[in-house]
Amino acid sequence: MNSLSTAPKLEVEIAGLRLKNPVMPASGTFGYGEEFSPYLDLEQLGAIVTKGISLAPKAGNPMPRLAETPAGMLNAIGLQNVGIEAFCSQKVEFLKNISTPVIVNFFGNTLEEYIEVARRLNEVERVNAVELNISCPNVKAGGIVFGTDPVTAARVVSAVRREVQVPLIVKLSPNVTDIRVMARAVEDAGADAISCINTLTGMAVDLERRCPKLANVTGGLSGPAIKPVALRMVHQVVSSVSIPVIGIGGIMCAEDALEFLLVGARAVQVGTANLVSPSAMADIIVGIEAFLAQRGIENINAWIGSLK
């Protein structure tokens, strides 16, 4: 293959949403977009994914909320966010000045909360798609996580489905026995796309103080350490559903992103890398383009899912 004289086409489509390239931030690592605007041209991104929004403002967990681990980090932020009302009145305004599609991540502690937030988000013009976080404990069902039981997950997805006209992306938790079961359940319940994986539950302890490093005891593991697990799960999900999949998990550079695309992810989300380098996504987009150009691949869609 020869290298190209013109730049390869990076445009992808997810459930009717056209993205200029397949790179977007993972929810919770990019604030509400505004925080990164001094370091990164938000117009360059395929999409912006906001921090998870809930019905009421959420305080989050006590400190310490972070612990560094080999090639990764644990976080137990506890979904601290401003709540749907403040999001609509304070955070949406900034996003109106940007043409990049906005995907709003949201969650609830009960089925009713999920439905109410979805209903409110559906009324916001600037919201181009929603991403449903089902990795939350169901307060009314004794704290069982919505996303670890296929029946409960399907119930949330179908209830939210009825409330939103925009594309509905469901973000899957990796903390399950078989992620394919969850993927099929949310597809059947009406999800337009799946993003995976969320963080892996982990723990770190301090030997001197004989205590957990996180006040919450456990936290979500992210970063390069989880990439092989994420890649395996994305590959499994791609093979078991027909809706598009967004790959997430330890993507630090263009090569990492290209691996997820190769196994069939239609787009990727970059998380921990944003925290290490606020301009990480810009480098990843440039790197993907250069990689494809060097190999004479004119359109990224020819690379996506081309795993032999």
Partner 1 sequence: MKDCITTILYNRQMAPGYYCMGLAAPGYPQLARPGQFVMLRVNQSYDPLLRRPFGIFRTGTEGLSHPEMGPQDYMEVVYKVVGRGTRLMSHLVAGDEVGLLGPLGQGFCISPDAGGAMRDAVLVGGGIGVVPLFMLAQQLVQRGVKVHLLLGGRNCGDILALAEFERLGVKTSIATDDGTLGEKCFVTQLLKDALQEFSGVQVFACGPTPMLQAVQQICVAVDVELQVSLEAMMACGVGACLGCVVKGRNHKEQRPEYLCTCKQGPVFDARELAWTQEAQAPVSVPGEDRL
Contact footprint for partner 1 (CB under 8 A): 28-31, 35-36, 38-39, 56-60, 63-68, 70-73, 75, 77, 80, 223-224, 252, 272, 274-279
Q: In angstroms, give the least distance from the CB of 64 to partner 1.
A: 5
Q: CA-CA distance, 90 to 259, in Å (whole number)?
A: 37
Residue 42 burial (CB < 10 Å; 0-12/13-18/19+)? buried
Sort 116 into a burial class: Cβ within 10 Å, 0-12 / 13-18 / 19+: middle
| C-alpha closest to that of 238 among 207, 203, 266 | 266
Total Cβ atoms within 10 A of residue 295: 13
Nearest partner of 179 among 207, 148, 210, judged by Cα: 148
As measured in angstroms, the least distance from the Cβ of 54 to partner 1 is 11
87 three-class SS: helix
Sign of CA dihedral 252, 282, 89, 190: negative
Q: Which is nearer to partner 1, 30 or 260 (CB)?
A: 30
Q: Nearest distance from residue 170's CB to partner 1, in Å? A: 24
- Rg value, the chain, Cα: 19
Least distance to partner 1 from the beta carbon of 239, Å?
28
Cα distance between residue 289 and residue 1, in whole Å: 16
Q: How far is the CB of 49 from partner 1 (least distance, A)?
A: 12
Q: Which residues contact 85 (CB under 8 A, 6 or more apart)?
A: none
Q: Which is nearer to partner 1, 167 or 223 (CB)?
A: 223
Q: Could you give the residue numbers annotated as active site?
A: 136
Q: Which is nearer to partner 1, 20 or 213 (CB)?
A: 213
